[in-house]
A and B are shown apart, each in its own frame.
Chain A
Amino acid sequence: DAGVIQSPRHEVTEMGQEVTLRCKPISGHNSLFWYRQTMMRGLELLIYFNNNVPIDDSGMPEDRFSAKMPNASFSTLKIQPSEPRDSAVYFCASSPSGRAYEQYFGPGTRLTVT
């Protein structure tokens, strides 16, 4: 079975550019999470969707970040404009109905903003 799919796996961009990260959750899972991981701050929850609806976006750092989930099989995290401090690994995770604690993570997107 395919796990959570993320693309791209690596992204290098210049400050000020728009960055779009993509995620395909595991089929049948109804919860989706976006996380950011850095050495300094560890793994931080950015936003959580349930049945394609954003439930908690209090972790989104600022207005430069936005996330969408237009359907059950696709989500995007967009950063516009990007800044060097956004450099991190961004993970997407999904979980089955009623078991939001049982999160399956994708391989992550390693973002470098120069």
Chain B
Amino acid sequence: RKEVEQDPGPFNVPEGATVAFNCTYSNSASQSFFWYRQDCRKEPKLLMSVYSSGNEDGRFTAQLNRASQYISLLIRDSKLSDSATYLCVVTGTYKYIFGTGTRLKVLA
């Protein structure tokens, strides 16, 4: 089993839709969690942190479920500019493990 798993997608959604991705992790001792965004042929960029209590930033909401060992990212009112690959990151001591990403396409 991979340490961090994501559905590769693509998720094709119309503008204005709400879409959610999950990311599961295998190491229950994992300490911190993040979402990064990567545009085609570009570098990854930090999108947001994932806190135990949940984290909201505008149209984006990230949540952590330690019992089931997954994190989620919810995007409301999708924009064309949200089209990208979303990578989850799970960290432990000196370990930064990226998922392979979920590709999102927002359609006009």
Contacts and interface: CB of A to CB of B under 8 A. Distances in A.
Interface in A2-43: 33, 35, 41-43
Contact of B89 (A44, A91, A101, A106): A101
B49 interface: yes
Interface residues of B, number: 19
For the residues of B in contact with A, the DSSP-based class is strand
Interface string B28-51: 000010100000001111100100
Contacts of A56: 94-95
B32 A105 contact: no
B42 A33 contact: no
Contacts of B61: none
A42 B99 contact: yes
B60 interface: no
Binding site of A, secondary structure by majority: helix, strand, loop or mixed?
Answer: strand
B96 A48 contact: yes
Given A43-B87, A91-B43, A108-B43, A101 B97 contact: no
A45 B97 contact: yes
Contact of B96 (A45, A106, A107): A45
Interface in B65-108: 87, 89, 91, 94-101
A101 B98 contact: no
B91 A101 contact: yes
Contact of B43 (A41, A48, A101, A105): A105
Contacts of B87: 42-43
Interface of B: 32, 34, 42-46, 49, 87, 89, 91, 94-101
24 contacts: A42-B100, A43-B44, A43-B87, A43-B101, A44-B98, A45-B95, A45-B96, A48-B94, A56-B94, A56-B95, A91-B43, A100-B91, A100-B96, A101-B91, A101-B96, A102-B46, A103-B44, A103-B46, A103-B96, A104-B46, A105-B44, A105-B45, A106-B43, A107-B42
